[in-house]
Amino acid sequence: MAARETTWTIILFLLPTLVFLSIFVIWPIVSSFRLSFFEWDGINPVKDPVGLDNWSRLIHDGIFWKAFRNNLTVVTLSLAVQMPIGMGLAILLEQGEKLFIFKIFKTVYFFPMLMSSVAIGILFKYVYDPIFGIINPALEAVGLEAWTRSWLGDTGVALYAVIAVICWQYIPFYMILFLAALRGIPEDLRDAALMDGATEPRYYRSIALPLVQGTLRTAMILSLIGSLKYFDLIWVMTEGGPSNASELMATYMYKKAFPSFEMGYGSAVASAMFIIVMVIALVMQSLTSRFETEV
């Protein structure tokens, strides 16, 4: 009797989750792969089966690979900028904890995390604007007129200008995550280290950082996977332009599928993106779990 009730509970309690995930995640993945073998505008009831055409087009599509390389640039720079600054700020906040003004600092530092990417994108479009913006006047004010430019209109810097905004948006998140990890270290350890004559920097280097390694690893995986999926901010700021200079896999996929009505090719791009993200996630997974068993 009890066993049967348990079985029914398991089924009924998992049902809503499985239904939602099947309809909106699992089935769409299968369906995307299936659509990638057709040529279709999404409107005409007839879909043309074209075999591997979309996939061979993808392999030879320079823009897709450019978008992929841009994604890798985003990953690399995000990691290189967000992790150290996030940790630096976390240490700063921990050090300044007793000073009242740091309450204000901590509050404001977190603001970027609360704004939507769309709003941030629009805001920074104007911040970067060569005429109304604040970057160019700021550079002029400190005598760097030579550096002023149309930040989002310059193929050489557009991607980096957007990455700077991505970092601005996400650093607070890592800062808070690291701060929580640092605070999780028992006070005794710090006291003991300081008693033994260690300086504060030495405490962070030799004791705190090794202890928050797990959090650091989580943060890196989050940043990596997140960087491969960026869409909103880039779309709002540059739409991937100028001339694909800041194109990412997600923006390219959107452009192909929706404004140009190439549902088949768009699906191929989406599927390729899925494969790439999954492979990287699996590699990371096995690397970190191997790492964990070694430590």
Partner 1 sequence: MRARKFANNTVLILIGLVWLVIAGAPFYFMAMTGFKERFELFSGDVFAFPQNPTFTNYNEVLTGGTFFNYVKNSVLIVAVAVVLILIFSSMAAYVFARMKFKLNRPLFTLIIAGLVIPVHITLIPVYLFTRDIGLYDSLWGLLGPYVAFNLPLSIFILTEFMRGIPREMEEAAYIDGCGPVRSFVRIMLPLSMPGLATLAIYNSVVLWNEFVFAFVLITSPSNQPLPLAIWEYQGQYSMNIPAIMSVLTLSALPLILIYMAGQEKVLRGMMAGALK
Residues 125-144 that bind partner 1 (CB under 8 A): 126-127, 131-134, 137
Residue 95 or 155: the one with the smaller Cβ distance to partner 1 is 95
What residues numbered 70-129 form the site for partner 1, per CB under 8 A?
Answer: 89, 92, 95-96, 99, 101-102, 104-105, 107-119, 122-124, 126-127
**Contact range with partner 1 by CB under 8 A, out of 55-63, 142-150, 152-160, 174-182:** 174-182
Residue 159 or 175: the one with the smaller Cβ distance to partner 1 is 175
- As measured in angstroms, the least distance from the Cβ of 91 to partner 1 is 10
Residue 29 or 155: the one with the smaller Cβ distance to partner 1 is 29
What residues numbered 203-242 form the site for partner 1, per CB under 8 A?
Answer: 214-215, 218-219, 222, 225, 228-229, 231-232, 236
Residue 25 or 142: the one with the smaller Cβ distance to partner 1 is 25
What character string, x for contact with partner 1 (CB under 8 A) and - otherwise, covers 253-292? xx--xx----x--xx--xx-xx--xx--x-----------
Residues 6 or more apart whose Cβ sits within 8 Å of residue 140: 148
- As measured in angstroms, the least distance from the Cβ of 202 to partner 1 is 15
What character string, x for contact with partner 1 (CB under 8 A) and - otherwise, covers 1-40? -x--xxx-xx--xx-xx--xx-xxx-xxx-xx--x-----
Rule CB under 8 A: choose which of 80, 180, 283, 287 binds partner 1: 180
Count the residues of the shown chain that bind partner 1, applying the rule CB under 8 A: 87
DSSP string, the chain: -HHHHHHHHHHHHHHHHHHHHIIIIIHHHHHHHHHTTEE--SSSS--EE-TTHHHHHHHT-HHHHHHHHHHHHHHHHHHHHHHHHHHHHHHHHHHTTTSTHHHHHHHHHHGGGGS-HHHHHHHHHHHH-TTT-SHHHHHHHTT-GGG---TTT-TTTHHHHHHHHHHHHHHHHHHHHHHHHHHTS-HHHHHHHHHTT--HHHHIIIIIHHHTHHHHHHHHHHHHHHHHH--HHHHHHTTT-STTTT--HHHHHHHHHTTT--HHHHHHHHHHHHHHHHHHHHHHHHHHHHHHHH-
- As measured in angstroms, the least distance from the Cβ of 177 to partner 1 is 5
